[in-house]
Amino acid sequence: MSRQVVIIAPGSRGDVQPCVALGRGLAAGGDRVRVLAAPGFRALIETHGLGFAPLSADPSAILGSAAGQAWTGGRRLTFLSGLREVLRPVLDRLLADVHTGAAGADLVLAPSLGFLGSHLGSHLGVPDAELHYQPSVPTRAFAHPLLPGAARLGPWGRHLSFGAVDTLAWQMLRPEVDRWRVDTLGLPRAGRRGPRRRSPVLCGFSGAVVPRPPDWPARVHVTGYWFLDAAARPDPRLRDFLAAGPPPVYVGFGSMQPADAERTFGVVRAALRRAGLRGVLNSGATGGSSGATGDDLLIAGDVPHEWLFPRTAAVVHHGGAGTTAAALRAGVPSLVCPVFSDQPYWGERVARLSAGPKPLPLRELTAGALTARLRELTENPLFRRGAQYVGARLRAEDGVARACSILRSG
C-alpha cells in the first residue's frame, strides 16, 4: 500500500540533497514523497519527481547574519548564545510551514533539530524516524562531533557530551516549540527534557568512515551514504579545461562563503601555482566571478561533484558531510579546511582514514600553509592509497536501498 512520506529538510544543499536521494528510493518502491525545504530547492526536488512544500527559513540568511558570521568565524560560544536571536524571527513561521507541509503524512522523516519528527508523529498518530548526517547518538567510543574536547574526559565524558548538545539545542528552541505543541498540535508541553526518543534512527553515513559503536541500541542503523546520482551536464569549458592538461585540484567551500573572498582567491591561486598544480575553483570562493584565469586555473559555478571529483588529482573543501562523502567515494585525496559545526570532525575522519592530511582551518589559510598541504596532498602516495581503499568500499554500498528497506520493514 502506498504511503505518504514527508521528509523535513531544513538547511543547505548538503542537507537537502541526501533527502532527495532517499525520497527517490522510497518513491521507486511505490511511496508518495513530499520534501519540505527552502524555496530555492524546489527545482532540485521536483526534477526528481518528488512533491515539494516550502520552509520559510532560509539557511543562507542565517549564515549571513551577525551570529552566523560569528559561528563561521570559529567563535562557537558566540554563535550558540546568539542562535536563539537569529532563529526567533523565523521560528514560528518555520513551525507553521512544517505543520502545513506534513498534512496527510503516514510517515515523517526529520533531523533531530527540535525533535520535529517526534512532535509531528505524535500529533498525526503516525511513525517517525530521525535522520542523522553525523554521529548524534550517545556512545562511549567517541565524543559528539560538536564537542571534540570531551574526548579527553574518558568514556563517560564522551557519552555525556551527546546529552549536553541535545539539552542545549532543546532549551534554545523549547519555548517556541512547546507553544507550538500546545496551540497548534494539541499536545502537552514536552518539558525540560523534551520528548522521549524511541524512534528508529537512520544514519546517512558509512561504517567504512564511522564504524558503528558497539553500545548503540538496535534502533540505530548505519545505512551508508545517500548519494544522489543524476545525469551530469557539465559546462563545456570545464570539459575542455580537463582535457587540456593533467588532472586539476578542485577547491570549493560549499555554502561557507569566505568573509574575504578576494583574499581567499588570491591565497588559493598563489598556492596552486607555487605547487605547480592546475586548479578548478568554485566561484563561491572568488566572490561569484567565473571564467578562466590562464591555462592552469578555471573558475566554475555549480559543478556536479559526483562527475568532477573522480577526474581530479585531489579535492580541497570545507568538510561538509556531503562534500566529504563525495570526495571519499571518488577515491581521491582531500584536504579539509573546516569552518564550524561538524566540519572539523569530518576533517579528522579523513586524516584518520589516511585519505588526506590533517585539516587546515579556513581561518588559518595562507599561501605558505596551503602550498605545503597541497604538495603533501598530491605527492604522498599514502593519501591516494587510503582514499582509493575507502572509495572502493563506498562505491560497493547502497545506502539508499538499505535505508528504504529498514523503513519498509519497520
Q: What percent of the chain has pLDDT over 70?
A: 88
Instruction: Give the mean pLDDT of the chain.
Output: 89
**Same-domain status, 245 and 181:** no
Whether the per-residue pLDDT at 151 is higher than 80: the answer is yes
Strand locations in 283-388, DSSP E? Answer: 291-292, 297-300, 314-317, 334-336
Using the 3D structure, point to which of 177, 199, 221 is the last residue of a domain: 199
- Tracing cell 542565517 back to the chain, one arrives at 62
Residue range 304-316: average pLDDT? Answer: 95
Please name the residue ranges forming H helices in 127-276.
154-180, 236-243, 261-274
* Selected residue with higher pLDDT from 158 and 92: 158
Whether the per-residue pLDDT at 230 is higher than 80: the answer is no
The number of domains in the chain is 2
Q: What percent of the chain has pLDDT over 90?
A: 70
**Same-domain status, 182 and 284:** no
Burial class (CB in 10 A: 0-12, 13-18, 19+), 43: exposed
**Same-domain status, 275 and 190:** no
The CATH code of the domain that includes 285 is 3.40.50.2000
Residue range 396-403: average pLDDT? Answer: 98
**397: its cell numbers:** 554500498
- pLDDT for residue 340: 81
**Same-domain status, 179 and 289:** no
220-234, 291-305, 360-374 — most confident range: 360-374
pLDDT tens-digit profile of 323-334?
999 999 999 999
Whether the per-residue pLDDT at 59 is higher than 60: the answer is no
For residues 94 and 116, is the Cβ–Cβ distance under 8 A?
no
Whether the CA torsion 125, 126, 127, 128 is positive or negative: it is negative
Domain span at residue 28 reads 4-199
pTM (2 decimals)?
Answer: 0.91
pLDDT tens-digit profile of 366-376?
999 999 999 99
- pLDDT for residue 295: 80
- pLDDT for residue 194: 86
